[in-house]
Structure 1
Amino acid sequence: MKLICSVLISWSFLFFSPPSFALQPGEIVVVANGLYHDSVDLARYYMKARNIPKKNLLKIATTDRIFIDRDRYNSEIAKPVRKFLQKRMRDKEIKCLVTVRGIPLRIDPPRLSSAEKKKLEELQGQRKAISEQLKALDKQETEKQKSLKSQQSVLDAEIKRIKKKDYRAAVDSELTLVLVDEYPLKGWTANPFFVGYKNRQLDISKNEVLFVSRLDAPTVDIVKRVIDDSLAVEKEGLQGKAYIDARWKKPQPGKSLKGYAFYDNSLHLTADFIKSKKLMPVVLDDQQRLFQAGEAKDAALYSGWYSHHQYVDAFQWRKGAVGYHIASSECSTLRTGKSQVWCKRMLEEGVAATIGPVGEPYVQAFPVPEVFFRVLADGYYSLAEAYFLSVPFLSWQMILVGDPLYTPFANRLVN
């Protein structure tokens, strides 16, 4: 996971009052792949379980592959979704999309033109030649090395520009802005719902953004189990223990934090909050090690880091569990197979909701753990609302997997 310029977030969000939206079933459109029966059947299964109007089912025709290129995304996904929504948005009645198993996960960069391919080959050839020169240089020729490495950096930047890797995005994250006429595709766009941007002037307004969540997993049965567990747990409330896996000791109060330190401290603050509200017992690990096999029994909530593409089978998940592991590309696939990415494996092992990136997001793009769990624990706000109040960027790498209406602590309001 790379670390680039940090997003500095005001600590005032620790005491924020989230806007009153409380997502409703009639405000959700479910997007299924009409070319695959399983996708449509799952959409109907969910809509029946949540009493979502039948008219809110949108069937599109697209590939069921994990990746889709930008041109096909625009024509096969964005265009029909936009057309469907424009007919329904006169009264701003739709606030959330749910993508269902069978819809691609990630948008690849735009296809290169013939001229771009030719230019890329030339640049890669030049870079290879410089690499050979560097290998042949004597160690004493420091000035020559410095000059060649400088040339190499310039070439790397130009190669990156042509490849347009920063144009990659999660399908779900891109769909949040499907009603926006024009916005930069390179990199990310600031999320106006993120509490860290409170009172800031942003390019995109809240009225232009849709919540998006995904009902997806390695098998159809797991998706149905996620739906069923979410509904069942809402009646009794989520029970179990919270496992928080920080890497360092809690810093001194008032210390300026950014990047990794900011997120590690947010894990500590998550543990503190859960304890203070007496939601459930908390197990906090502030060592470099991760929870190991058999150490996380009755896990209802989990957040921690950092094990890249290597799920650690430490958890005995409770029904309705929410698991969030901070690491790159942990939602790069949700298909069956040998992959050990955390989102896929947590769903296989029993969680009802998870968060993760489909590619390299950079650390400051992750949802802030304390905000996410604080809002979720309120009992009034849904999973989707907790996620969108805590995630800094849209049109980027992060996705939410789970029932957007899931409210695991709704019983607290009754009690």
Structure 2
Amino acid sequence: MSANEVTSRRSRRGQEAEATAHQPIRLLTSAATALLLSLASPCSAAPGDSAIVLYNSSVEESKATAAHYFTARGVPANNVIGLPLPTSETMTRKEFREQLQEPLLKALAERGLWKLRADALTREFNLTNSPAVTESSIRYAVLCFGVPLKITRDNSLAEASAEKLPPELHRNEAAVDSELAALPLAAGRHQITSALPNRNYAATNPAALHPTNGILLVARLDGPTAAIARGLVDKALVAERDGLWGRAYFDARGIRDGGYLTGDEWLRKAAETVRRFAFETALDDTAPTFSAGFPLSQIGLYAGWYDGNVSGPFTRDKVEFLPGAVAYHLHSFSAHTLRSADKNWCGPLLAKGATATLGCVEEPFLAGTPDLGVFFHRLTAAGWTLGEAAYAAQGSLSWQTTIVGDPLYRPFGRHPGELHTDLLKRRSPLVAWSHLRVVNLNLAQGTSAAEMVGYLNEQAETKTSAVLLEKLGDLQLKLEKPELAVESWDKALANQPTPQQRVRLLLARAEQLTKLGREIPALVAWQELEKLLPPSPELNRVKERLEEAKVRLKPKK
């Protein structure tokens, strides 16, 4: 055998060995991404002709917001309705009935959008009755900036049917949205004291959420300014095209029993649903809400409770909401006003960049707030629209909840496999998030961390993505390889992480450097964190670790 033959065979064997070495990764890549393709096809996009757009003709910005939505969603002109309404956020029950409820009902019938039962306006109201609407070409109502937010209490209205209610429920104030949502049920002739049971609560078929089944899916384009309100549909459309990405954060209170347990159970269920849906998910199950130092980065989804006013990381000048982000803080008065960028919760969340939120205009009691487990399941895993998910999550109508955002917004309307391919074709940096989804889907299905490390190492995007490099480091740490984890996090820090991602990376890196006994780089990391963090428990922890590092580095006598 000649030297050339030996060299040639060695070369072939080397090529074969290299091919064999890479084959499992190629097979893994195929199997891993196949999970995206195997996911159920989501529901199709809600068309613009399935909605009416309602604006306040007494407010120019309201009309402009309606025109913006009309164009963005392709709503037919016949579905755009302007009514002269009060210009404040509140209206009386009389104003609601005479200026909004009755004229809207008339317009819907005259324009052929609704057909009512012949006896709709004469029969005695009963929850067991079939709805007043027998035919409807619309399912959604979009209330535009300038349409009043809430109906004030009217103590002069007494209803015999309400006499048996507990004293605390002898109230008739309500969110305009929630009151209009019940319009198909009895053409506005229902009991207004307390709340009405929502017959569509926890619905599993989105088609059931229809006026002929007693519900109109009402939401509003609103916020501290008209520009913010108009931007809600713009950001929704971006997310529908490019995907809603980012991380999910749930802030529970660590409740294990008592009357408020339900709220925490909703949040835990929501967190588990979203984690299985392949979001990078953080659940804080302790009593305090997220502090100002909590590294809340790249927010796609958020829910928590129970602070009266916007707090913690949401008070920063810049909050890292991604386009399409859905954020909700459960509090009795979270939507008491939408005109403030620093009071309550809904207005501030919208001002900081959230695309959709929910809230209560007055005290709803916990059972009268949206079931977050249902809401996040329908929005994510089921692929429903914001309007569908929000109303399936509510046990009550004619009550206190308002939904702010485009009700047609369907953040997960595109098939994940199709979206992944599209992002790759466009060379979009967002494909990194899609790769992260592949990893998390596989982990949720029981694939090992080692296999997912192999997947990430094969992707070209991993080399330059702070998102993927952070995940790679997390998996390496899980595999008890802290040196490799620190190396990956160092690379992530060198690839333009967001400010809050940088804080999270530095915290993880400093802890591992300390455990590895690499005292000087650990000291430098703690010092950098001390400069970055605001006053918070996180800063206090960093200062403690910094002092400990200084003691260890102090020369021994």
Q: TM-score, normalised by structure 2?
A: 0.57
Q: What are the equivalent positions in structure 2 for 1:15-34 lying under 5 Å apart? A: 23-34=46-57
Residue 124 (structure 1) aligns with: none
Distance 1:392 1:265 in 2: 16
Q: CA deviation at 1:103?
A: 0.8
Residue 97 (structure 1) aligns with: 141
Q: CA deviation at 1:366?
A: 1.2
Q: CA deviation at 1:259?
A: 4.3
Q: What are the equivalent positions in structure 2 for 1:2-401 lying under 5 Å apart? A: 23-87=46-110, 88-90=113-115, 91-110=135-154, 112=156, 166-179=171-184, 180-181=186-187, 182-195=189-202, 207-248=213-254, 259-278=259-278, 280-295=279-294, 296-314=296-314, 315-336=319-340, 339-378=342-381, 380-401=383-404
Higher deviation after alignment, 58-67 or 313-322: 313-322
Segments of structure 1 that go 5 or more residues without pairing to the other structure are: 1-16, 117-156, 199-203, 252-256
Distance 1:350 1:362 in 2: 28
Q: CA deviation at 1:411?
A: 2.6
Distance 1:371 1:164 in 2: 25
8 Å contact from structure 2 (residues 181, 397) kept in 1? yes
Q: Which has the higher helix share?
A: 2
Q: Secondary structure at the match of 2:402?
A: strand
CA distance change for structure 1 residues 410 and 46 in 2, over 3 Å: closer, same or farther?
A: same
Q: CA deviation at 1:37?
A: 1.2
Q: CA deviation at 1:309?
A: 2.7
- Aligned AA for 1:276? R
Distance 1:259 1:191 in 2: 22
Residue 411 (structure 2) aligns with: 408
| Structure ID, larger Rg | 2
CA distance change for structure 1 residues 403 and 205 in 2, over 3 Å: closer, same or farther?
A: closer
Q: TM-score, normalised by structure 1?
A: 0.76
Distance 2:362 2:301 in 1: 24
Please identify runs of 4+ aligned residues in structure 1 that moved more than 6 A. Answer: none
8 Å contact from structure 1 (residues 379, 411) kept in 2? no
Q: Residue deviations 1:101-141, cap 9 Å, x none?
A: 1011110122649xx9xxxxxxxxxxxxxxxxxxxxxxxxx
Q: Secondary structure at the match of 1:313?
A: helix
Distance 2:404 2:99 in 1: 22
- Aligned AA for 1:371? V
CA distance change for structure 1 residues 320 and 408 in 2, over 3 Å: closer, same or farther?
A: same
Distance 1:81 1:205 in 2: 14
8 Å contact from structure 1 (residues 70, 107) kept in 2? yes
Q: CA deviation at 1:196?
A: 7.3
Q: CA deviation at 1:205?
A: 8.5
Distance 1:38 1:273 in 2: 39
Query: Relative contact order: is structure 1 or structure 2 higher (C-alpha 8 Å, sep ≥ 6)?
Result: 1
Distance 1:214 1:30 in 2: 9
CA distance change for structure 1 residues 350 and 396 in 2, over 3 Å: closer, same or farther?
A: same
CA distance change for structure 1 residues 264 and 336 in 2, over 3 Å: closer, same or farther?
A: closer
8 Å contact from structure 2 (residues 55, 144) kept in 1? yes
Q: Which has the higher strand share?
A: 1
Distance 2:259 2:402 in 1: 20
Distance 1:359 1:21 in 2: 35
8 Å contact from structure 1 (residues 30, 99) kept in 2? yes
Q: CA deviation at 1:223?
A: 1.3
